[in-house]
Structure 1
């Protein structure tokens, strides 16, 4: 069983979460395939944003193709938040899936979302929920992060995570890396999606 983790990461926070999601998928005995959404910014702009160096750490991850979406047994999407919504790169990528929609290629597949925001209330839930709309139009079966992940109820620290999906808080300048609890939530989500996908696919 193959589960695709498609994400866009600018400074590496979503990439780290994607790696944790993949570890959870593998723990469930499924194959995890990491893919990036296509970049829309020029190298010059990325350099001015101070993101070029960070992107070198995950530049080896191939860019996702539409065929890979159709072939996967389940898809988990990761995106940073932009004003309470998914980033433009992910939006543009999903906007190119019209043919898959027409052919019903994603109908019945498990779909899930995780995200990163600069601040604690920077749109973590709205980003995931608004992205669910696109997945529902594709006929996907939405899978979130259940409260059986105990770390979601933690009040010992500032932490991301919601029943809609795993999240991390990056800080206003991207100075905060995903915490152990946030990475554990991402891994739990990956394992949970793999478990649901196996039931949906009778594998």
Structure 2
């Protein structure tokens, strides 16, 4: 059966994942104009020095041959922070709400994913795309050397009151255990606050 232990507070207090002082964010010292990325369909990317700076500064996206590809939630997060501009192939800028609308066409759960991503990032964690059908994100410990060590958590998100298949969650828990990761269930309430639960599979 599945067991879970709830942290003592929601995303606004102490929990399994503790907050980071925002002054430690990599961009706090940056004053130059935000770099510009281009969106094609739902893929957001940029190249050059700016791509390298964003990747090295916060381990955002996947950098390959000088091109940085961002997840939709990463692009939303950086745009909301005022640290990235996004334009379409014709050079027309898209604001935060326009990006949310565009991403929602392909992913109806984009807003929930964004809330979880934003919360984890604000707490100082490096967050990458999950693998498989269930895990939304892979989350690395603070200070992790990305590429040299595995993620510590798999995070699966649901909205408060939403129903989901417990057998499916059990399968994800097994996958997390086999890959030596902790499975975290992120529950989003109606106010957008997030509570994290450490999920494990036990036999009686």
On whether the aligned pair clears a TM of 0.5, the verdict is: no
Larger Rg: 2
Considering Cα pairs closer than 8 Å and 6+ residues apart, tell me whether 1 or 2 has the greater RCO: 1
Name the structure with the higher helix share.
1
